[in-house]
Amino acid sequence: MIAGLTGLWRAARRPVSAETVKIDGFELGSFTLHGDTRTETERPLRVARSAEAWSYLVSWPNRWTVSQIIGRGLRVELDVRLMSGHAEIGLVAGDFSTFVCRAELSDGDQKVVLEAPDATAVAAVVIRCSEERGTVTVEVATLGSVMTATAKRQERGFLNKNATDDLAARLTVPNPVVVDVGANKGDTVARFVDTFPTADVWALEPHPDTFAGMARRFEGTSRVRPRRLALSSRAGTSTMHSYTNAAINSLSPIAQGAEGLIDDTVVASASVEVELQSLRQFCTNEGLDRIDILKLDTQGHELEILQGEREFLRSGRIRFILVELLFSPLYATQAKAGEVIGLLESCGFKLFDFYDFVYDEESGLKWGDALLEFTSAP
């Protein structure tokens, strides 16, 4: 299969499409590297992301005989180091756009194993920046692959689409008002700023350490307004349960047995007191008479924010709501996905689409996002 290799690789100025990929006619032991390459055994592959959505690392023509490939899967193993930015790496199908298997990269050194249940369905290894028009730098120290009798897992869910593209197509106001609740490090804030350059974006993040990093990230962006704040059903303060993985900080502790469902080690850190406001109170304090996009990613607290705001929701002052839904028991107290959708539908919102479903190999669907649009008061 793909031989072990070292050398230098840099992304082309634009991603390589299916039409521009040049195949060298290799068999099992060959592959095509994309971009400018040279062999340097003393240093790893270096992947410098372009500003485009995809960078192709390696591809192959899949000209294997039936006797070689029937009933066989493919496993690709890489030793990588994420040096900057936010990225994922994966196997893509022959259309050069659909993930067959993918993995999020975390900061620092890591081993990545990508598996496809059908070796004939895979055509390339790609690196994709998690931030639209963002930049990442990744070092790949080793890259190799083997045939497998069966693959352990298959990528599931809705692929090759994202909510910001759909919002851009449907939202035509010249200066959108965006409220990102649970902004964390600001990745979705960056996508909103990039997609809607004339938008005013409120970025709410209650944890002081995470907030400080997010606020620094947008210091030079005048249209982003960071607020160290959590939304809930009431005003006041509450305890935020904190972890070394800031993405799972929540007003509720992790549920017993949920560690196996979370894509990182669960290590608790010191809890903090955070300020709470209701959604209506926040809008009053900020002088907002409308919200064009409300994004809620509050680790199971979404229903608590919405259920006291039915009158406000029915008023039509919020056009779109992009909300994370939890389908597995991750937190001791969390909203059920059906309850969140049901409440919003009862207030005049219509489900538009689902995005970014994440699965567990054993228990199935873990979480994903839903986009709902206000249509009319019930």
For residue 150, what pLDDT is reported? 58
Output the average pLDDT for the chain.
80
Token pair listed for 13:
């100025």
In this structure, what DSSP letter does residue 254 have?
Answer: B
Superfamily (CATH H level) for 8-148: Galactose-binding domain-like (2.60.120.260)
Residue 21 exposed, middle or buried by CB count within 10 Å (0-12, 13-18, 19+): middle
Query: Which percentage of the chain shows pLDDT scores above 90?
Result: 44
Asked if the model's pLDDT at residue 134 lies above 70, the reply is no
Token pair listed for 158:
């809705």
Give the CB-side neighbour count of residue 310, counting CA atoms within 13 A: 10
Q: Which residues touch 342 (CB under 8 Å, ≥6 apart)?
A: none
Query: Which percentage of the chain shows pLDDT scores above 70?
Result: 78
Label residue 4 by pLDDT band (50, 70, 90).
Answer: very low
What is the CATH topology of the domain spanning 163-374?
Rossmann fold (3.40.50)
3-class DSSP assignment, residue 332: coil
Region 353-372: what's the mean pLDDT? 89
Bridge-based pairing state of the strands 99-104 and 54-59: unpaired
Determine which of 250-254, 276-280, 368-372 has the lowest per-residue pLDDT on average: 250-254
Label residue 46 by pLDDT band (50, 70, 90).
Answer: low
Residue 11 vs residue 173, higher pLDDT: 173
Asked if the model's pLDDT at residue 19 lies above 80, the reply is no
Closest CA to 130 of 169, 155, 168, 103: 103
Label residue 74 by pLDDT band (50, 70, 90).
Answer: confident
Label residue 238 by pLDDT band (50, 70, 90).
Answer: very high
**Domain map (residue ranges) of the chain:** 8-148, 163-374
Give the CB-side neighbour count of residue 247, counting CA atoms within 13 A: 11
3-class DSSP assignment, residue 160: coil
Q: Which amino acid is at 77?
A: E
Bridge-based pairing state of the strands 349-360 and 364-374: antiparallel
Q: How far apart are CA 247 and CA 214, in angstroms?
A: 13
Asked if the model's pLDDT at residue 173 lies above 70, the reply is yes
For residue 231, what pLDDT is reported? 97
Label residue 358 by pLDDT band (50, 70, 90).
Answer: confident
pTM above 0.85, yes or no: no
- Percentages helix, strand, coil for the chain (3-state, rounded to 5) are 20, 40, 45
Label residue 197 by pLDDT band (50, 70, 90).
Answer: very high
Asked if the model's pLDDT at residue 330 lies above 60, the reply is yes
Determine which of 33-37, 135-139, 290-294, 358-362 has the lowest per-residue pLDDT on average: 33-37
Among the ranges 76-80, 266-270, 358-362, 372-376, which has the highest mean pLDDT value? 372-376
Instruction: Please calculate the CA angle 62-63-67 and round it to the nearest 5 degrees.
Output: 105
Residue 246 vs residue 37, higher pLDDT: 246
Residue 54 vs residue 324, higher pLDDT: 324
Asked if the model's pLDDT at residue 167 lies above 70, the reply is yes
Torsion of CA 288, 290, 292, 297, to 10 degrees: 60
Q: Which amino acid is at 376?
A: S
Asked if the model's pLDDT at residue 195 lies above 60, the reply is yes
